[in-house]
Structure 1
Amino acid sequence: MTTKQRNFVFALLGVAGVYYIAPVFFGPRPLIRFGPPMRPQQPAPKKDSAPPPAPTNATPVPASDPSFERVTGVWEGIGAVPPNSCTLKLEIRPKEGDATKLAGFPVLNCFPIVPPLFRGRDAQQQLMARFAPMSSVLTGTAEKGSVLFTLDKAIGKTPDGCSIQGMTVTPFGVDQLSAEWQDSTCKGGQILLRKSRG
């Protein structure tokens, strides 16, 4: 082997020694990669994370009329509706499922100022029948400072066939309510009510 060849072999051994022994003292050698550079890996999404809620096209709930707060509650009153004397109990509350309307539940009981005379075995039943209350389920809407109630269902009737078919209530003074009702075959009437409870 010539001197030139020996020097070439020693040079190769020196390069190999630096390549394999130097990492022990200076840290690991960098890896040499061929081809396009690697893209950084994105973190995998968590399996337990819930998807974002889908947008809803919910219709806004209409606001109730401010006058409704003044008339809601339980109202009671007594008054003369010639030739009768009548008592009226009226419960008014927001209508379920519709903030723009009210639900009304009147119970009207009228009896003659001068009680009629009944004779015979059925006199007591005839007298009690005259005191049968009229009651209805009503739906009300605000109109010009009043609440107009229309009939949903008539529950009670008098022996004469009278039943509440509609009602108009209007705030009266500080703590009263004017209630005017219409019925199917009789002439209707009007009574001032006071709130018995909210």
Structure 2
Amino acid sequence: MVALVNAVQTGVLQGLAEVAVVFSNKPDAPGLTTAAALGCPTASLSSQGRKRAGFDAEVVEVLRQYQTDYVVLAGYMRILSPTFIRAFAGRILNIHPADTHQHQGLHAYEWAFDNRLPETKITVHLVDEGLDTGPILAQRPVDLRGADTLAEVERRGLAVEHQLYAETLAGLLRKELKIEN
């Protein structure tokens, strides 16, 4: 999230995008404090003990109040309901630390490390009603040769994530991207 805000304020997204709101389903999330310190509007609703569809319907209303054009997921670890996905169909982006054709869901860096992969890919994709199955907007390889710890795999991957996500969003806003399945 910080890398995206920085890209909007001084990087590849400057003049192309603005942060309408940083939202979290955890009102005490440190990212909200960080976002506010960076000058971004923030909002939150607790999802604890809530049914997904009802909660997501409320989130849709919150995001609409901020006139959100795109929903860019960054650290949002909930599976979105069809209610939410349909409200922003074709306008929800996610980043996944693997090739989504090879590994979906959580623990992708652990998967790459445990399988001693020489390379993994960072994938930016549109969100559909499946889990990490939406159309791919961009992928970039991450060289894992010599990465002897999970922390090193994560460090290398995050460096690519932070650059690729902003570049992909910029390409989408400029209408330069070809969407792949």
TM-score of Structure 1 vs Structure 2, range by shorter chain: under 0.3
TM normalised by structure 2 equals 0.21
Higher helix share: 2
Greater relative CO (CA pairs within 8 A, separation 6+) = 2
**Highest Rg: 1 or 2?**
1
TM normalised by structure 1 equals 0.20
Higher strand share: 1
